[in-house]
Amino acid sequence: MFDFTFYNPTRIHFGKDRMSALAKEIPADARVMILYGGGSVVRTGVLDQVKTILQGRHLSEFGGIEPNPTYETLSKAVEKVKADGTDYLLAVGGGSVIDGTKYIAAAALMEDDGWCILENRGRNIQRALPIGVVLTLAATGSEMNNGGVVTRAATHDKIGFSSLHCFPRFAVLDPTKTMTLPPRQIGNGVVDAFVHVMEQYLTYPVDAKVQDRFAEGLLLTLIEDGPRALATPDNYDVRANLMWTASLALNGLIGAGVPQDWATHMIGHEITALYGLDHAQTLAIVLPALLDIRREQKAAKLLQYAERVWGIHDGSEQEKITAAIAKTRAFFESLQVKTRLRDYGIDESAVPAILAQLERHGMTKLGEKREITLDISEQIVRGCC
Ligand code: NZQ
Ligand code: ZN
């Protein structure tokens, strides 16, 4: 196992009826801005519930943060935060609203234009406004980590950042709030969490027994309860298990002390930036292709995955690996998330554009050993078609 430092300061309030924690978590004299997305929290009543709990506080609102939040929209929020003298941000929504709020929290305290945060991947963030979260979509883990992804629509740049200053102070995780999700977002959420686990697990063995078994437990839970959430949308226990799994998938715990391979996410971000696919759709396309192209380098872990996660014990090593990759693809498809670029109307002519984006963003040495050069990315992207 590698050396590591593990740090996660986010307090979690998990369960039904935990919204009242907002009143205790947010200081009584704070000037709070509530941030939300395209209106789901208005329709579902979550926004009203939040405002009722915070009645009598100094509140303002900023709505309209879109999926794959844009610099263009977030810049307007930064202006409003500065104009209002806001000193506490409350994100109410999914990963996009939370990521956008992290960006706003840091950009609002900077003299320079906030885009420099993305240019520096967050390394230049020295402080940020405090952030609280009410989560409505189990997927990204953003509610319990310090990262975010922001898109500059004008230039098709979708770039990640992270900073110790961007951990939410607290997050309310009420699984009932995810029951209004449409099937597409349920499937997306399960795929995103699954791929987060895979990118911290499916590399090469370093004898990290707990991280491996923890990761396998999360994968097995997603395999068991992902389809159930689609089939029985009102099942509380299913939603609760998925919600906690998604948070644990990317809160630092399973990634501590192990090699990581974020190539699927990096290639996926370029596909979203160019063609507007949902984040999880891109992951469902890229991961099976990547595992196939990297089957030799990842053989030991692929075999472990085949046996421990999918119960594949028969056949040659290559047959087991092939079967595990096929099971992975079939799992995504069973969640109604398609796994080929052509399923989204994109053909081979897109390959050069995706590669040019990777090159422009310096994504030329990806993977757990930084061995995924542009040539190998090209093979992977061709395998996505
Ligand atoms: O915008 P509204 O109207 O709220 O609707 C949203 C949106 O259309 C809707 N929704 C959310 N909660 C709902 C709901 N609809 C009904 N009922 C509810 N309870 O769902 C749609 C998608 O929301 P979004 O927040 O975009 O989804 P997600 O949570 O999947 O976030 C995706 C973003 O997170 C980034 C992605 O790149 C993408 O930009 N990621 C962030 C990460 C992080 N910070 O650690 C890691 C991830 O890998 C990911 O890259
Ligand atoms: Zn993701």
| 92 SS3 class | strand
List all residues 6 or more positions away from 372 whose beta carbon is below 8 Å from its beta carbon. 263, 294, 365, 366, 380
Q: What is the pLDDT of residues 29-73, one digit of tens each?
A: 999 999 999 999 999 999 999 999 999 999 999 999 999 999 999
CB 193 within 8 A of CB 139: yes
pTM equals: 0.99
Tens digits of residue pLDDT in 317-344: 999 999 999 999 999 999 999 999 999 9
Count how many Cα atoms sit within 13 Å of the Cα of residue 127 in the half-sphere of its side chain.
6
* Best of 61, 74, 137, 173 for a ligand 1 pocket test (most atoms within 8 Å of beta carbon): 137
Helices (H), the chain: 21-25, 40-44, 46-53, 71-84, 95-107, 115-119, 183-201, 209-231, 236-249, 263-275, 279-293, 299-308, 317-334, 351-360, 374-384
Q: Report the pLDDT value the prediction gives residue 246, as an integer from 0 to 100.
A: 99
Tokens of 240: 């609760």
Pocket probe for ligand 1: among 41, 49, 96, 254, the residue whose CB has the most ligand atoms within 8 Å is 96
Give Cβ neighbours of residue 362 (< 8 Å, ≥ 6 apart). none
The residues with which 34 forms a beta bridge, in sequence order, are 61, 90
Q: Which residue has its alpha carbon closest to ligand 1 atom 16?
A: 181
For β-strands 131-135 and 147-152, DSSP reports them as unpaired
Question: Ligand 2 centre from 265 Cα, in Å?
Answer: 6
Count of CB atoms situated within 10 Å of the CB of 12:
20
Q: Which residues contact 48 (CB under 8 A, 6 or more apart)?
A: none
Query: Which residue's C-alpha comes closest to atom 38 of ligand 1?
Result: 68
Ligand nearest to the CA of 183: 1
What is the rounded CA–CA span in Å between residue 45 and residue 178? 12
Rounded to an integer, the average pLDDT of 197-209 is: 98
- pLDDT score of 351: 98
In angstroms, rounded to a whole number, what is the distance separating the alpha carbons of residues 175 and 14? 8
What are 107-124's pLDDT values in tens digits? 999 999 999 999 999 999
3-state helix, strand, coil in the chain (%, to 5): 55, 10, 35
CA dihedral 100, 104, 110, 114 (to 10 degrees): 40
Residue 148 CA, closest ligand 1 atom number: 44
Output the CA 279–ligand 1 centroid distance in Å: 9
Mutational pocket test of ligand 1: of 134, 174, 185, the residue with most ligand atoms within 8 Å of the beta carbon: 185
In residues, how long is the chain?
385
| Residue 384, Cβ density class (10 Å: 0-12 exposed, 13-18 middle, ≥19 buried) | buried
Query: Using CA atoms, how far apart are residues 165 and 105, in angstroms rounded to an integer?
Result: 9
Ligand 2 centre from 63 Cα, in Å?
Answer: 23
> Quick one: average pLDDT of 169-184?
98
Pocket of ligand 1 (CB under 6 A): 37-41, 44, 67-68, 93-97, 99, 136-137, 139-142, 145, 147-149, 177-178, 180-181, 185, 188, 192, 250, 265, 279
Q: What pLDDT sits at residue 229?
A: 98
Distances (CA, A) of 339 to 10, 117, 142, 335, 384: 34, 32, 24, 11, 8
